[in-house]
Each structure stands twice: as C-alpha cells, then as structure tokens.
Amino acid sequence: MKGFLVLVVSFVTLNLAARATDKPADKNVTIVSANNSPRLKYGTEKLTAALQKAGYKVVLTADGKLPAAGTTIVAGNYTDALIKKAAVAWHMKPDTTGKEGFSIKSNETAFIIAGTDASGTLYGCMELAEQVANQKTLPENISLTDKPEMVLRGACIGVQKPYYLPGRTVYEYPYTPETFPWLYDKALWVQYLDSLVANRLNSLYLWNGHPFASLVRIKDYPYAVEVDDATFKKNEELFAFLTTEADKRGIWVIQMFYNIIVSKPFAEKNNMKTQDRNRPIIPLIADYTRKSIAAFVAKYPNVGLMVALGEAMEGVGQDDVDWFCKTIIPGVQDGLKMLGRKDEPPIVLRAHDTDAPRVMKDALLIYKNLYTEAKFNGEALTTYEPRGPWAELHRTLSRIGTVQIENVHILANLEPFRYGSPDFIQKCVQSMHSIYEANGLHLYPQASYWDWPYTADKTQPRQLEIERDWIWYRTWSRYAWNCTRDRHQEEEYWAGSLADKFGCSAEQGKNIVEAYEQSGEISPKILRRYGITDGNRQTMTLGMLMTQLIDPKRFGLFPLLYNSEAPFGEMIIEYADKEANEIPHVGETPIAVADEIIVHGDKSVAAIEKAAPHVTANRDEFNRLKNDMYCYQSMAKFYAWKARAAVQVLKFKYTNKIADLEEAVPMLEKSVAFFKDLAGRTDTTYLYANSMQTQQRKIPVNGKNATMKTWVELLPIYQRELENFKKHIETLKKQGGGSGLASIKPLNNAAVEILTPNITRYTFQKGAQVFPDLSAVVNDLPAFLKGLQGIYYSQGRQITEGTSLNFKTAKPVKLLVAYFAEKNGAYLPEPTLEIDASADDYGQAQVKVANAMAIEGFPAINIHSFSFQPGTHTLTLGKGSCLLLGFINDNDPLPVVDAGLGVSENAGALDWLFEK
Ligand code: ADA
C-alpha cells in the first residue's frame, strides 16, 4: 500500500512537471472552507498564499456554496456536509484514510481536499500548497491519499541555559524575559511553529525543571511563585498565545518537568533544598506538587504534561511509582475536576532515571491516556542498529500497548557541526519501528540545546538553530511521516532540496547530499567505538585523552554505549587484548573504524568541493557547511591516528618492548597535528563546541564555568600529552619503568568535628576492618592512602537507610568516599551524571582513585571526593554501602590515578605514560 502511494505521488509529480509551462487559462480560484476550524483556516491561508504567488486570483469563502464558475477548491473533513455535497456534485469521492490523513482529488475545474480530522484537512491544504509552490501551477487530475506513520511527531526546546543561574542548580530556570528573551518573541514563535507544521510535526515540548512557579499561583502556597507580577502576567499571555498558535497548526504543546524540584521561594520558606536526590517523599512537597499540577491543568487545559520521575528523586523504586500514582496523576485528575472534564488528556512518562515498565503497570490502573518516552541512542547519535538491554527496554515499553515515543535526545557527539545525513536518519527511524516497535518521535535540536535559539557559529548576528539546521528537522520529520520511502527517490528529493537551497543543479545537489551522508557516519562511529559515554558528560568533538582510550573504565565507562548503542564489535582495550592473545576479532573493530572514518572524511570534503564552484545562493552558509566538512575530516583523522596509537601503546602491556611504544609516537604526532588543523578551522568560526558549559562536562576534561569549550583551549592538552609520552619513553629506557604511584605524597588528614552521634574512627591501613558490623579488612592499598582517619558506619544501616554524616569544619575540606564498582542493591551506586545531573554538586562525579584498594569478597573500589566549604554540613547518601575514608584539606593535591588494586588486570598500568 505504501509502495502504491509513492507511485501515485510520483506519477502526479511527473504529470505536473510536464504541464508546468502551459499556463492554465483560468487563473481565478475560489477556496471554500467546509467548516470553521482554526486548522482549516490556517491551511487555506497557506494555500491561498501559494496560489497567489503562482499568479492566481483567489477568493476565500466559507459560505457553504459551490461556485458555478472558475476553479473551485473545497476543503474540510470527510464528514462535513459541504464535502459530501461536492463529492456528489462533482462525482469525486474522497478516499478515506487514517488519523491526520487526507485525500486530494480533482477534475478539470474542481478540487476536494478531505481530511479525516482537522489536522488531516490542514495537511491536505499544505500538500496542495506545496505542489503549487513547486510546480508554479495547480496540478491536473490529482488523486492522492496520505497519512503519517508515527502518531506523535514532535520537537523540543529547552527553557534552560548553558550555565546555572546564581544561587540555583541544574534545571532551575524560572520563566523570565531577562533569562529567556526569545520566549516572549512572538514573531520567532510564529516562525518556529510554521517550520514545525511545514514538517508535519504535531507536538512541541518545552523542557524545564519546575515550570509551575512561573505559571500558576496556588491558594495554599501563594509564596511559591518565583517571578514578579508583571512577568507572571506575561507568562500567562505567552502560554495563551503559544497554545492558540500551535493549535492552529495542529500542534500540541507539552510542558516537561523534573521531579522532585520545588521553587526557590518555596524551599526557602520551608527551610529545605530545591532538589535533593536523597530526600524521601515528604507530605508537604507532595501536597505542593499535586496542587501545582492541578492548578496548571485547570489553567492551561490544552497543554499536555511530560513527566521525568527524576532526577531529584531517590533512585529507582516504589517512590517513583507512588509519586506518579499518588501525586502527579491525582494532580491532573484534580485539575480536570475543577474544569468539569471527564476525558483524560495525555500524559507522557519518560523512562529516564526510573523503572518505567513498573511505573506504567500501576499507573494504567488509574489513568489510561498514557504514553512512554525513552532515549533513542542516549544523548548522542550512534547507530541505527540499536540492540542489547536498551532495545529490550524500548520493546517492553512498546508492548505495554501504549505508544512509545523515541527521544532523539541532546546530540552530545554532533554538537556543534552541521549534521544532515538523510540515509542515516531514515535508517534510524526505520529501526525505531522495527527494532524498538515504537511509534513516536521526540526530536531535540541538532546542536546548542542549552543555548536556544542560537547555534555555536561565530556569526553576527548569531544564527538561529531552526534556520541553520533545517535539514535536521526536515529529515527526521519526513521519515517520521513515512520511513519506507524509496532510497533512490530520496536521493533525488534531497539533491533537489539542496540544489534549491544553494542555487545549483540537482547534479551538484547530489554532491552536497554525498557530503552530508559521508560526514554523517563519522561522529556516530567515533563515539560508539572509542567513547566513554552516550551522555553529555562527554563532548566528543573536542577529542579524547589517550588515557580515556586505553583505560576507559577509569573515566566511568557507560556500558550501554557499547552493549546497546553500537553494532556488535570491540572496544580498543578488547581489540588489543585479542591481538596479543591471537584471538580472532569480531564485529566492528576500532581499527576498521579508524580506516573508515578517514575515508568518510576525505569523501565528504571531495564531494563538497565538487559542488562549491556551482553554488550561487546562500554562499556564506555554504562556506560554513564546507568548513564543517573539513572539520569532520580533521576530527576523523585526529581520532583515527589516536586510536591506532592507543592500540600500539597497549601492545607494550603484553610485550614489554619499548620499541612498541616508540612506534606509537609518530601516530600520536599525526593525531595532534590534525587536532591543530581542527583548532585552526574552528577558531574563527565557532564560539564553542558544547552548549552545556557547567562542571557536569567531564570528558575530555572538566568544562566548568564555560572553560575548555574550544579546540584552541584543548590543543595544549593534547600537545602536553604527546610530550609526556616522549619524556616517559626516555625514562623507561633509562630506568626500566615505574608507574609513578609510589612517588605520590601521602594524604594528610584534615581536622573536622563529626557531629553525628556514636561515630568512631579507624586508621586506614593494611589489615584495617572497614565496617563496624562486618569482618572485612583491607588487603592492599597504595601508600598515599595509608593513615587516613576512616569513619566507621554500619554497613547494615547504609543498606537499609543510607548514609548521613553531620560534621563541622573550619576550613574547606574534601571527604573521600570509596564506592564499590558493581551494580548491586547492597552497594551505593557511583555518582552517575547520565541519569542525575546533580551528581557533581560537590565535585563528586569523577573517579579520583580508580581500583584504589583490595578488600576480599568485594568488587573493584573507586574513590570519589566531596568538597565542602567551612561550616556545618550534613552529607546524605542514598541506600547502599560505601566507605567513608576521611577528610583531607580541599587544597591538598588529590591525584587522579588508577592504582590497579583489587582487580585481576591492571588496566591503568600505562596511564602514567601520558600524565605528567
Ligand atoms: C542527563 C543529562 C542532562 C539531561 C538528562 C535528561 O542527566 O546530563 O543534561 O539531558 O539526562 O533529562 O535526560
């Protein structure tokens, strides 16, 4: 059936092309609306504009009559009386189709556009308008039906910033004109919404931590509002405007929020934190949230809700079920009661940081109109062949029977370069259906999510993301509508679109498509073979350190990236191990990817250069696109040579031949040289690589306070790494080696007064018992940790209640906490930025000492540190055991090393070669 549709459409197109030159004699058109829906009005206005541009004189009426003379277009729903009347009068029966679908039929003088519903009619008008715009005339004898495959097709905007607002933390951004001038820019909204409907998208998500205190005032908590009266009024106007304009275009506005976040004035008044992952549900917060949601639903009945049951909620468990079923859904139901409504507006549940199948099971008992949403490839674009446990989760959600929406989340490996590979994206959408069994799309901006509405290009004025990344939106939307379109025809389609954009022939347009498709393979392949995480903790385009390639676990390797979001294959460390042990390689290998990305980079540059001399329109933008292709090429070569060098370095582990290390030097030199090219190409063209510019960014290096966000800043780091490597090879030659661990100075204890009652201390050393209620002792530790004053905490209590330590310090200090690196309910999970953006509030996210000690019967142990300013503090940690190793002065150097203890293989044994 789908194939048939494609044929019909192309036949019509061919037919039109043939007619484009002979102008129809009668250029008078009457458009008659069969109903007065705002969507139909919008659609007929678009159609009128297209006809007028093509030289027609148009009369638009809704008088219920079919004119006798001239060309007539009747548009409405199948069930409208006038549509039925026209069908009889003109002997043209519209074909029926599904939700949001439409039929267009015509004879010599009359057209019927009939939609299944208001959106279908709108899309029918838009379809005809597009045909008129493309062919400069009305088509002859058209007969087509169409309808979307995916039921929800949406884009999102972050009402968020690259930085934290003063005195606030992640996701906390009240809606104000000062912080978000664009939010109040009506012309920009109209432009944006027009672009969504042009792409047939039917949903728009606004993301924010706690939007309610900017939008509703609750009787019981009037003080919770966190914007002034004038802004509050502006926000009301904004939502009224936005929802009306969106509705005209068939777009449903959905407000997303995180839990459990409360407004700043609410937190201050009630003497609590705005968000705290380790806080259980407390009745006051539940009441406040339920009433906020009720007020929101009552006030903005046309706005949907999307719920993240995290990140400030305690882990995954019954709390999440309770919060959704006893606070959020009842809040929505209260709001509906206030409105006297019996229907259930949709609620979208994010699977992020929660056990969504478990939550859905209970929730469906009390509310039916639920949708689920989960990240397609994490916070990146890595593969159209997702598999493993993540694919299982998606299928489980899809099989609940509700609609599962695929979230193409922050594109942490695409920022900031242009991306628009129709081939890759079409395959992704196909896999959403075939592998994930999903039926919805939720699309993030291609780049600069945190810096909406701009891109990172260094232009004056700044470029709008929707304008620059038009091809990103168009590709995803086109395939969300229909993913089975014929590849060959798609190449023609995109070649035509790019030819229009850049004023060249379709032949040259094809070269531009080729550039997009070749470059489109590079970032996905790099991240899925060499990366640490699919999360925005890593900015891939800024490169990676050698230690991250040869010892990824030390940097908090995120396993889903390899077991689910990459085709079957090997990591660099696995590849080296197999080489050394002569085990055959399997699947996609890091060396094959190194070879492939070099070819992709060269081909994309060659293709764009072929098109370049023929470009006659949008030249500046074309040059920026061309520069991006060169950036991709340099980045690919940087990574390829570095990956080759990494494999070569790892060889040394098995051979102990210094010559093996020496062979890696020219490879690393090449890699650094290509990074220098990249720095040169981006210095004058990009403001930054990554739009999230907080301390949450960890890979390749910490990006706090908007630092280390350009290639120019990173270059010296890669140069130093190379120098260290050369220097240490010389040391090895002279002295025969040494990991440098022994040279680290012992850590000194800092004076801190523990206020929690009944806490005793112990000296951390070999043979020391680490829990008061368990006989486990330290079997091995590095010398620099010896002598720390450990803090005894009952393991039993840690498992059932979590850990809480109250203390007072006169100086800034760090508390060293040892985590057991294994997923197990008995162990406190290590801070995980992929699901908890507050996981670095105390600087605790990064592993400081990996494989820090050996304790029999326990897995590998990693030390993280929490920093505190002078004062009295309570550190609360979630449920699960960990070791509190004691306090050191905040300014004392704490090495970041892999001690290689407690693990069978010393993965970090070579790290020192690249460090100072
Ligand atoms: C992670 C990520 C955040 C945000 C979040 C989410 O915590 O670091 O930036 O994207 O996931 O909401 O999915």
For position 738, what pLDDT does the model report? Answer: 53
Q: How far does residue 537's CA lie from ligand 1's centre (Å)?
A: 9
Residue 709 lies in a domain: yes
| Distance set, CA 366 to CA 106, 207, 254, 341 (Å) | 48, 26, 21, 16
Q: pLDDT per residue over 238-248, tens digit each?
A: 999 999 999 99
pLDDT at 25 over 80: no
Q: Name the residue of 210, 311, 450 to mutate for ligand 1: max ligand atoms within 8 A of Cβ.
A: 311
Q: How far does residue 836's CA lie from ligand 1's centre (Å)?
A: 7
Q: Are residues 54 and 84 in the same domain?
A: yes
For position 908, what pLDDT does the model report? Answer: 86
741 falls in which pLDDT band (50, 70, 90)?
confident
Residue 21 has a CB neighbour count (10 Å cut-off) of 8
What's the one-letter identity of residue 224? A
896 falls in which pLDDT band (50, 70, 90)?
confident
818 falls in which pLDDT band (50, 70, 90)?
very high
Q: Which atom of ligand 1 is nearest to the CA of 379?
A: 10
Q: How many whole angstroms separate alpha carbon 853 and alpha carbon 860? A: 8
Q: How far does residue 685's CA lie from ligand 1's centre (Å)?
A: 28
Establish how many alpha carbons lie within 13 A of residue 808's alpha carbon, considering only the half-sphere containing its beta carbon: 4
Q: How many whole angstroms separate alpha carbon 625 and alpha carbon 620? A: 9
Q: Are residues 566 and 637 in the same domain?
A: yes
Packing angle of the helix pair 186-198, 229-248 (nearest 10 deg): 30
Q: Are residues 541 and 661 in the same domain?
A: yes
Q: What is the rounded average pLDDT of the residues 788-794?
A: 96
For position 782, what pLDDT does the model report? Answer: 94
Q: Which atom of ligand 1 is nearest to the CA of 409?
A: 10
Q: Is 534 in the pocket of ligand 1 (CB under 6 A)?
A: no
Q: Which residues contact 628 (CB under 8 A, 6 or more apart)?
A: 417, 418, 519
390 falls in which pLDDT band (50, 70, 90)?
very high
Q: Is 412 in the pocket of ligand 1 (CB under 6 A)?
A: no
77 within 8 A of 36, measured Cβ to Cβ: no
Q: Are residues 728 and 757 in the same domain?
A: no
For position 24, what pLDDT does the model report? Answer: 47
What is the extent of the structural domain holding 837?
A: 752-915
807 within 8 A of 871, measured Cβ to Cβ: no
Q: What is the rounded average pLDDT of the residues 615-631?
A: 98
Q: How many whole angstroms separate alpha carbon 725 and alpha carbon 646? A: 12
Residue 773 lies in a domain: yes
Q: Which atom of ligand 1 is nearest to the CA of 410?
A: 10
Q: Are residues 859 and 721 in the same domain?
A: no
Residue 307 lies in a domain: no
Q: Name the residue of 379, 444, 448, 699 to mutate for ligand 1: max ligand atoms within 8 A of Cβ.
A: 379
Q: Is 161 in the pocket of ligand 1 (CB under 6 A)?
A: no
Q: Which atom of ligand 1 is nearest to the CA of 835?
A: 7
Q: What is the rounded average pLDDT of the residues 857-886?
A: 95
Pick from 5-19, 273-287, 677-691, 822-836: least confident: 5-19
pLDDT at 308 over 90: yes
15 falls in which pLDDT band (50, 70, 90)?
very low
Pick from 193-197, 346-350, 380-384, 890-894: least confident: 890-894
Q: What is the rounded average pLDDT of the residues 723-736?
A: 88
For position 737, what pLDDT does the model report? Answer: 53
Q: Are residues 674 and 761 in the same domain?
A: no
pLDDT at 8 over 50: no
Q: How many whole angstroms separate alpha carbon 252 and alpha carbon 405? A: 15
Q: Which atom of ligand 1 is nearest to the CA of 692?
A: 9
For position 20, what pLDDT does the model report? Answer: 39
Whose CA is closest to 675, among 700, 638, 627, 643? 638
Q: Are residues 649 and 761 in the same domain?
A: no
For position 310, what pLDDT does the model report? Answer: 85
Which tokens sit at 505? 């022939």
Strand 304-311 with 252-259, pairing = parallel
The pTM score is 0.91
Q: Is 833 in the pocket of ligand 1 (CB under 6 A)?
A: yes
Q: Which atom of ligand 1 is nearest to the CA of 308?
A: 12
Q: pLDDT per residue over 119-151, tens digit each?
A: 999 999 999 999 999 999 999 999 999 999 999
Q: pLDDT per residue over 240-293, tens digit each?
A: 999 999 999 999 999 999 999 999 999 999 999 999 998 999 999 999 999 999
Residue 785 lies in a domain: yes
Residue 53 lies in a domain: yes
Q: Are residues 538 and 590 in the same domain?
A: yes
Q: Name the residue of 410, 451, 838, 840 to mutate for ligand 1: max ligand atoms within 8 A of Cβ.
A: 410
Q: Which of 710, 735, 760 is the last residue of a domain?
A: 735
For position 731, what pLDDT does the model report? Answer: 86
pLDDT at 673 over 90: yes
Q: How far does residue 453's CA lie from ligand 1's centre (Å)?
A: 19
Q: Is 837 in the pocket of ligand 1 (CB under 6 A)?
A: yes
Q: Are residues 569 and 692 in the same domain?
A: yes
Residue 646 lies in a domain: yes
7 falls in which pLDDT band (50, 70, 90)?
very low
Q: What is the rounded average pLDDT of the residues 354-364?
A: 97
Burial class (CB in 10 A: 0-12, 13-18, 19+), 732: middle
Q: Which residues contact 279 (CB under 8 A, 6 or more apart)?
A: 260, 272, 273, 285, 312, 314, 876
Q: Are residues 715 and 769 in the same domain?
A: no
Determine phi and psi for 386, rounding to 5 degrees.
Answer: -65, 150
Burial class (CB in 10 A: 0-12, 13-18, 19+), 459: middle
Q: How many whole angstroms separate alpha carbon 309 and alpha carbon 356? A: 9
Q: Which of 102, 119, 141 is the last residue of a domain?
A: 141
Q: Is 308 in the pocket of ligand 1 (CB under 6 A)?
A: yes
Q: Are residues 724 and 756 in the same domain?
A: no
Whose CA is closest to 203, among 306, 94, 279, 289? 306
For position 74, what pLDDT does the model report? Answer: 98
**Whose Cα sits closest to atom 10 in ligand 1?**
410
Residue 488 lies in a domain: no
Q: Which of 116, 141, 166 is the last residue of a domain?
A: 141
Which tokens sit at 106? 């015509």
Backbone torsion region of residue 756, taken as left when φ is above 0, otherwise alpha when ψ lies between -120 and 50, otherwise beta = beta
Q: How many whole angstroms separate alpha carbon 478 and alpha carbon 199? A: 7
4 falls in which pLDDT band (50, 70, 90)?
very low
Which tokens sit at 324? 């959704």
In the chain, pLDDT over 90 holds for what percent of residues? Answer: 90
| Distance set, CA 131 to CA 14, 124, 396, 853 (Å) | 12, 11, 41, 69
- DSSP code, position 422: H
Q: Are residues 808 and 697 in the same domain?
A: no
Q: pLDDT per residue over 31-85, tens digit each?
A: 999 999 999 999 999 999 999 999 999 999 999 999 888 899 999 999 999 999 9
Q: pLDDT per residue over 558-592, tens digit each?
A: 999 999 999 999 999 999 999 999 999 999 999 99
Q: Is 310 in the pocket of ligand 1 (CB under 6 A)?
A: no
The DSSP string of 426-492 is HHHHHHHHHTT---EEEEPPSS-GGGTTB-SB--SSPPBHHHHTHHHHHHHHHHHH-TT--HHHHHH
Q: Is 536 in the pocket of ligand 1 (CB under 6 A)?
A: yes
Q: How far is CA 395 from the centre of its chain?
A: 20
Q: How many whole angstroms separate alpha carbon 202 and alpha carbon 155? A: 9
Which tokens sit at 905? 């293989």
For position 16, what pLDDT does the model report? Answer: 37
Which tokens sit at 309? 């049951």
Whose CA is closest to 402, among 450, 443, 448, 367? 367
Which tokens sit at 746? 């012992």
Number of domains in the chain: 3
What's the one-letter identity of residue 38? P
What residues form DSSP beta bridges with 114? 76, 103
**Can you give the CATH number for the domain in which 93 is found?**
3.30.379.10
Q: How far does residue 31's CA lie from ligand 1's centre (Å)?
A: 48
Residue 294 lies in a domain: no
Q: Does residue 300 sit in helix, strand or coil?
A: coil
